[in-house]
């Protein structure tokens, strides 16, 4: 049964200030009709013993990933996503706030998935559960899974927000686009191994590294919009078409959130990300800092180099050839 759109639900949605809300904003509206709060924690934070009162589980390790796909955290098909979101009581008129137990980590993935399915009435809680508790706001013991009424959510997939290896390969060869990798610098350069056993390390030739943590300040809060714009511009120049990758498509969405706050609009997330790319032997990979000229907060003319310009250009041309094959 489709629920009616109440005046309170309209008011809550109208007040949504953008893709990011603070703990004070959510605390002032908690419990309002039409407002749904999701806990999208993954890994060690999944199934924690406390939650924001009334929060429902957005289970990225469970029903809200396609477990038939080779890479973890792959977006489910539209029908499966719609069913899962309806089962969580979300209507097309709901206002959704997503948080996670780490701060801003996996919550941005849930927000981006909703956007990819045509739902714009969602935001990420700035700083997540740590910011909520640091503000002295109430939590409750986690109860059973959501057992309330079903929602009327309708999936309306948008093309281009979640993309595959072919699209990323084309972006690497496109002078108007840039691929940004949200993993740590150690994983990007292959100085540290990938957490998935047997997965090769390194990065896509031509990709640049912007660790998702660089977009956050003390307390796990997102940096102001002006600082975010500077961080992206240092790597992208005047390119406005941005593609994001990470280990499995989760923290890439933190970059998508940061870019949205910074005013960029042509954004795409590589679903499957480095896990998907590295599992494909035909896709090239490089190690060290080849393919990236300088970092977001680094001086490109200082420090040791790991390769000359000819090597970097060879890597980029290799990526272009791979995208044509």
Dmax over CA atoms of the chain, in Å, equals 64
Query: Which of 206, 202, 204, 210 has the alpha carbon at shortest distance from 232?
Result: 210
> 122-125 and 95-99: which strand pairing?
parallel
Q: Which two tokens stand for residue 162?
A: 């979640």
CA 60/CA 251 separation, integer angstroms: 13
Coil, helix or strand for 231?
A: helix
Tokens 């990938």, located at residue: 194
Asked if residue 41 lies in contact with residue 51, where contact means CB atoms within 8 angstroms, the answer is no
Query: Which of 42, 37, 77 has the alpha carbon at shortest distance from 59?
Result: 42
With b for 16 or more beta-carbon neighbours within 10 A and e for fewer, the 175-199 pattern comes to: eebbbbbbbbbebbbbeeebeeeee
Half-sphere exposure of 52 (CA within 13 A, CB side): 32
Residues with Cβ within 8 Å of 260's Cβ and at least 6 positions away in sequence, in order, are 19, 267
Residue 246 among the catalytic residues: yes
CA end-to-end distance (rounded Å), the chain: 49
Q: Which two tokens stand for residue 6?
A: 């109440």
Q: How far is CA 84 from each of CA 21, 81, 119, 159, 168, rounded to the nearest angstrom?
A: 24, 5, 14, 20, 28
Asked if residue 124 lies in contact with residue 111, where contact means CB atoms within 8 angstroms, the answer is yes
Residues with Cβ within 8 Å of 134's Cβ and at least 6 positions away in sequence, in order, are 127, 219
Which residue among 246, 254, 268, 319 is the active-site one?
A: 246
> Which residues participate in catalysis according to the annotation?
246
């Amino acid at each position: 049964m489709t629920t009616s759109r109440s005046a309170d639900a309209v008011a809550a949605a109208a007040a949504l200030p953008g893709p990011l809300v603070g703990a004070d904003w959510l605390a002032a509206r908690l419990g309002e009709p039409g407002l749904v709060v999701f806990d999208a924690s993954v890994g060690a934070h999944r199934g924690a013993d406390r939650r924001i009162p009334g929060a429902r589980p957005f289970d990225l390790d469970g029903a809200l990933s396609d477990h038939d796909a080779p890479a973890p955290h792959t977006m489910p098909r539209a029908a499966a996503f719609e069913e899962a979101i309806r089962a969580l009581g979300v209507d097309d008129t709901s206002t959704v706030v997503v948080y996670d137990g780490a701060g801003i980590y996996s919550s941005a993935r849930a927000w981006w998935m909703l956007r990819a399915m045509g739902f714009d009435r969602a935001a990420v809680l700035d700083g997540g559960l740590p910011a909520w508790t640091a503000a002295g706001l109430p939590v409750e013991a986690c109860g059973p899974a959501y057992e309330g009424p079903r929602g009327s959510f309708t999936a309306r997939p948008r093309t281009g927000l979640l993309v595959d290896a072919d699209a990323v390969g084309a972006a690497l060869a496109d002078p108007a686009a840039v691929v940004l990798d949200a993993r740590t610098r150690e994983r990007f350069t292959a100085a540290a191994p990938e957490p998935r056993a047997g997965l090769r390390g390194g990065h896509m030739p031509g990709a640049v590294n912007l660790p998702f943590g660089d977009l956050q300040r003390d307390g796990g809060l997102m940096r102001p919009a002006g600082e975010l714009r500077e961080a992206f511009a240092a790597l992208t120049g005047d390119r406005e078409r941005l593609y994001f990758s990470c280990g499995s498509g989760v923290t890439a969405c933190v970059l998508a959130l940061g870019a949205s706050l910074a005013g960029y609009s042509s954004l795409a997330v590589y679903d499957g990300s480095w896990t998907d790319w590295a599992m494909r032997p035909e896709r090239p990979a490089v190690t060290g800092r080849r393919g990236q000229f300088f970092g977001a907060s680094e001086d490109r003319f200082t420090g040791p180099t790991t390769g000359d310009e000819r090597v970097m250009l060879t890597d980029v041309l290799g990526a272009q050839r791979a995208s044509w094959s």
